[in-house]
Amino acid sequence: MTIKTGDTIPLATLNTLKDGVQAVTTDELFKGRKVVLFSVPGAFTPTCSAKHLPGYVEKMDAFKAKGVDVACMSVNDAFVMDAWAKSQNVPAELTMLADGNAAFADALGLKFDASAFGMGERAQRFALYADDGVVKVLQVEAPGEFRVSSAEAMLAAID
């Protein structure tokens, strides 16, 4: 079942690269915080690298002004997410999260099979806003679209 507004973020473990691979739980990410989590189908892919991640990098100050933390998730490993962050000049305050086996995407009900494109299981393109672990806004893109999960759309949705 797909997560929806009003639901609590499911408990899961993701990875990030800080002095080696570090496990981080969704409780650590969301409890007591306001967070926008956006998900991309893959690091270094065209729309993700040209539009999705750069939009959040550009709008980090606007999210910070609202007291909102930002995290990016993809079904890649922590090393790939770190290399992508470096290539995109991602500021340290934008957390890059690896969902290597798509376990969190699956727990959210937002996993899809991209095997036909040689990419295996992936997370759908989406963005959510959670306050203290409760989803307040969920914007899931239609296949092939990039509109509702952009930084601009999320800033407008959490006003």
Q: Which residues are catalytic?
A: 48
CA pair distance 55, 158, nearest whole angstrom: 16
- Please choose, from the candidates 120, 26, 138, the residue with its C-alpha nearest in 3D space to the C-alpha of residue 77: 120
b/e burial code for range 68-83 (CB count within 10 A of at least 16 → b): bbbbbbbbbbbebbbb
b/e burial code for range 96-115 (CB count within 10 A of at least 16 → b): bbbbbebbbbbbbebbbebe
CB distance 126 to 39 below 8 Å: yes
Segment holding 78, helix H or strand E? helix 78-87
Q: What is the DSSP letter of 90?
A: -
